[in-house]
Amino acid sequence: MWRSVAPILIICALGGLWHGWKQPSKLEIKPDELGRVQLYATTWCGYCQAARQYFQAKGIQYVEYDVEKDAEANRRAVGYAGPGVPVIVVGQDVMHGFSVEEFEERFASRAQ
C-alpha cells in the first residue's frame, strides 16, 4: 500500500514547497473584473469588517449577507466553508476568513 501512496505524498509535499517559494502577486485587482463578490459575515466580526473596508477602499462591489439574521444565508455559508465567518465567494471560488494578501493572491489573476 505504501508503494502506491508514497509517490502521491511526495508530489503533494513538493507542491507545498513550491507554493511557499512563489512570490505574491503585485497585480492590481480591477474591481469590474472580479464579478459578483458575496460576503457572508456578522456585524461583530473583525475580519468581516476588514473585508468590508478593503472592498470599499478598492471600489469592489459586493453583496453582504448577515449570517445571524438570515438563516438561508447562514446555511449557504456553512455549506461553502463550514462554520465561521467571513466567507467570501467570488464566482466558484470560496475563501474562508480574510486577509488582504490571500485575497489578492487568489484573485489578482482575474485582473490580467
CATH number at residue 75: 3.40.30.10
What pTM was computed for the model? Answer: 0.68
**Structural domain includes residue 83:** yes
Average pLDDT, rounded, for the chain: 78
Kind and range of the H or E element at 100?
A: helix 100-107
**Structural domain includes residue 50:** yes
**Structural domain includes residue 71:** yes
Please give the average per-residue pLDDT across 14-36, as a whole number: 47
**Structural domain range at position 73:** 29-111
**Residue 34 pLDDT level (bands cut at 50, 70, 90):** low
Measured CA distances, 31 to 1, 56, 81, 106 (Å): 48, 10, 24, 14
More reliable by pLDDT, 39 or 8? 39
